[in-house]
A and B are shown apart, each in its own frame.
Chain A
Amino acid sequence: MSTVLEAKDLCKTYIVNKKQNNVLKNVNLKIEEGEMVAIMGPSGSGKSTLLYSISGMDRPTAGEVFFEGKQMDKLSDNELSDLRLKKMGFIFQQMYMMRNLSILDNVILPGIKAKQSGVSKKDIEERGRSLLRKFDVAQIADNDTSEASGGQLQRACIARSMINNPKIIFADEPTGALNRSASDEVMEELAKLNREDTTIMLVTHDVKVAAKCSRLLFIVDGNIKAEYNLGRYEANSNLRDRERSLSNWLMEQGW
């Protein structure tokens, strides 16, 4: 397994009302290819900030981030955009989509933008449709974004994140706005992707979600306090055991 993502002494500081707020303090981490890593921690501990800082969505205040060995914090805005477009996938809590595009067009948008020579728009459309089929939302492909349920939309967002065959998917509380059954469905899809060797890094508050990940990073006050290895969640894994052991570990950490 090779390292996909690595952060060294990562710091992120915000200045709010002339007060310095050190959200991330010298964070070090490595994400290996094929891992599914969950970041957990109390509110305000810096989970989302960590996700955005290492995914190139935001620039760290100090420290280094390496993606496939390339130092990301040295890249220009355009290079970062290209990296996000072609090598990364993103899923957000609020299932953001472009209001003026149909769901299918939203899914294939990054594909069309990143279009490689030799790949036709038709091929991209076909891939979009097959991804929607894969996540069981093909029936809403041509719908307006306001005409789908939250679970359907989030699955369409997963399809969008996959359109360019990314090296890694970043998900910020992907089930945060969903009910339990929709949340389970979405997590099953992400776990399935992970079993197909897609690297995933997600932020969650939910033990049930984290239990489907292979590793958990517990962050407190801008530092990774501890990490827990669960092993890959296979189709036949006992989810209840994983949840129980994870809960116990989290309680030990003061969760």
Chain B
Amino acid sequence: MLIAQNIGFAIIAAIMIVGAIRVVTTSNVVHGALWLVVVLAGAAAQYVLLAAEFVAVTQVLVYIGAVMVLFLFGTMLTRSRIGRDSGLNNTYWKMGIPVALALFAAMAIALIDSFGSEKMPSDGSIVNTQQISDQIFGPYLLPFWALSFVLLAAVIGAIVLARKD
């Protein structure tokens, strides 16, 4: 069981990392969006592996369903060339590599130092969807309301910004 989980984790993680690298290196905006779908779907699979099925379904609906359509429309409406585009990177894009590597080294040292070989609780209580709803409509009710106003403001703001007048 645990071995199967680890094999699944390794395969999905490898796919996610390849997809993420393709997102930031591809020279085609539409291909970038489609590689992002691979990463987001891999993240949803990892959530299932972590017994968070409700978040996984939300991820598929919101990200792969809605956000990806937004990205493709954004690509379409801004004449980002459909096809290869050599002007996607900054002139100083190489600076990003040492920054990312240094950041990863710092985080990896901190993580290995603090968690070492700690294992996930294998018989621990699985968080079910009912507990999440009890949290959202219990102690987190006020942030939930605030969040609905954020979404409302974002929708109105997006319409105001994008409409032609």
Do A and B pair up? The answer is no
